[in-house]
Amino acid sequence: MSRQLYTELSERSGIDAGLQHKGILAFYKTEKAAEDELQLVEAAAELGLDMGVLNPAECRALQPQLELDVLGAVHYRCDSHLTPMLLMSSLQQELLASGVSILPRHEVTEAEVAGGAIKAITAGGKRFMADKFVLAAGSWSPAVAAKLGIRISLMPGKGYSFMRPDPEGIVGIPALLCEARVAITPMNGQIRYGGTMELGRMNDKVNMKRVEGIVSAIPRYFPGLRVDMPAQEEVWYGYRPSSPDGLPYIGHSRRLQNVVLATGHGMMGLSLGPATGLLVSELVEGKSPSISVSAFSPDRL
């Protein structure tokens, strides 16, 4: 659904976020990872997703510039990729042009709740009243929800990434290194290397040992691809808002009638964002959502 919505968005608005439909190659080196991937393939095939299991020769045919040391891969042909920074800046332009007000650095610090509804919130020192509110504060959502008297179970899963130039376009198709849990994505003439899942309290530390884990995994799968260790200031980190059952929280909370939650998308926030956005807009307008949101209920845990 998200792929279709991202495609429609770029066609309608001319937003060029580098959206490409080349799929993703999930490479594995061990029988155990192959088994896990094949189980996933079976489940996904039942949903009608387009994918194929590749032997090493078929992998090489798809990635001829890369030296490969793998047992095989699953090609998720149904997947796509884009450049998040381009998407965010062009989306912002599109929203501003449509009359949306964006208020940066307006942290929600207080909420007034009465009669089972939010009356107003304070953000950036100003009071805002509205008929409907959407709570979409990523890993900070539990803290914001607590101001409303709602408890949601969520952990910040810290991950790191860094960019390296790829002038020759060596990595044509995004790659997942299954056992190492590393993602390699071509973006706008560069490659993004990312991974790791650090669960714990939020902090501004960059754990270079974790980054080293990403760097050292790459030549185990692609022996010819040697990536220098980035300097600490080149490393980006972010938080994946992770729920205990891996599903997002989308929908109303039974405690308050005029707030819709949209959080807990874990490792898939960018992929699931457009679908969640559609569902949230339908719920806010009081329409029946395109798909049932009962599995995503904020009250389920």
- Which residues contact ligand FAD (rule: CB under 6 A)? 107-108, 136-140, 144, 159-161, 183, 194, 238-241, 263, 265-271
Q: Determine the Cα angle at 186 with ends 246 and 241, to 5°.
A: 20
Q: Toward ligand FAD, which CB reaches closer, 160 or 222?
A: 160
Name the residue among 182, 188, 191, 186 with its Cα closest to residue 164.
191
Q: What share of the chain is helix, strand, coil (3-state, %, to 5)?
A: 35, 30, 40
We find the least distance from the C-beta atom of residue 183 to ligand FAD, in angstroms, to be 6
Distance CA 111, CA 149 (A): 10
| Among candidate residues 249, 277, 244, 296, the one with its CA nearest the CA of residue 141 | 249
Which CB atom, from 59 or from 250, has the smaller least distance to ligand FAD? 250
Least distance to ligand FAD from the beta carbon of 204, Å?
14
Are 24 and 175 in contact, with CB atoms under 8 Å apart? yes
Q: How far is the CB of 169 from ligand FAD (least distance, A)?
A: 19
Closer by beta carbon to ligand FAD, 63 or else 141? 141
**Of 8 and 58, which CB lies nearer to ligand FAD in the complex structure?**
8
Closer by beta carbon to ligand FAD, 136 or else 218: 136
Confirm if 229 and 215 have CB atoms less than 8 A apart: yes
Smallest distance, ligand FAD to C-beta of residue 198, A: 10
Residue 149, both tokens: 């008297």
Beta carbon of residue 3, minimum distance to ligand FAD (angstroms, whole number): 12
